[in-house]
Amino acid sequence: MTHRRDAGPPGAAADGTAEHRAGNTWDSALSSEEFAAVKGAGFDPVGQVLGTAVFTIGYTGVWGCPGAWSTEGGRKAPSSAWDSSFAPLVRTLYAARRLALGRAVAECRALGGDGIVGVGLRVDEFPAGGLEFTASGTAVRARSRVRPRLPFTSHLGGQDFAKLIHTGWVPTGLAFGIALATRHDDWRTSRRTRWTAGNQEVDGYTQLISHVRHDARNQLALDAATHGGDGVVVDEVELTVSESECPGLGYSRDLSAEAVLVGTCIARFGRSEQPSGPGPLTIMRLERER
């Protein structure tokens, strides 16, 4: 039986640094095309990483009927009480994702990686209750003497990550935008959703969806600013809509919407613009010389 001197995470040496040996076997979540693209960009995979956190989600901060809308400046807008009612829950959703991502980054550092590509974020119901937040991806290490101060995280897959590097950009970190909103399904919306209402816009639902998406975009921009990038490459927005019994008026319902945006902050590491496509072709004459 072989005894190791270190008691740290897998891949960590006794002094806390990553242990690298020739012939080490690594695993990855990359496809063959992604693997080739990452290698072509000057990076080597060093192993799969996973971070997870299980949270009990109970207190939301909602009291009474949270779906009341007021009129400000001639337009429909959520009241201040409605707008901030989900603040405790939103803070928890941010904290859970960041904790899971931070644990994946810790595994990346233990393996000697410089960053994680293809980060996938999942939220699933935990069998014993609560929600399980997971962040997984493939840790990669640059074939360079220059090491980043902190490992980067990116939702981009292998090919997109390689395109980013080849055009003079580097990912700096994942950013989140999370927003929750609820609208009371009052007589105005109920009247427009009846089968006898015909084809028309349900403006109450439109306002709810527009508000929650706009709020998520604003939160993403605020979170992206903390990563020091020049911009953010945004993934598709995840929108979840559900209905529940109104806590204030038991005979009616509230419609809730949750929007989650995930993006990768990027920064330019080259001063000059690099062409994004292949270089110009050389034209040669094919006629024989006479």
CATH superfamily, domain 32-268, is Hypothetical protein apc22750. Chain B (3.30.110.70)
Q: Where are the domains of the chain?
A: 32-268
Q: Report the largest interatomic distance among the alpha carbons of the chain, rounded to a whole angstrom.
A: 96
Residue range 40-60: mean pLDDT, rounded = 90
First CA to last CA distance, the chain: 80
State the Cα–Cα distance between residues 229 and 159, nearest whole angstrom.
21
Q: Where is pLDDT greater, at 290 or 22? A: 290
Residues in the chain: 290
pLDDT at 126: 93
What is the pLDDT, as a whole number, of residue 270?
A: 63
106-126 residue pLDDT tens: 999 999 999 999 999 999 999
- Band the pLDDT of 20: cuts 50, 70, 90: very low
3-class secondary structure, 46 = strand
pLDDT at 99: 97
The answer, yes or no, to whether residue 288 has pLDDT greater than 90, is: no
pLDDT at 86: 80
Measured distance CA(68)–CA(65) in Å, rounded:
7
88: helix, coil or strand?
helix
Residue 78 is predicted with a pLDDT of 46
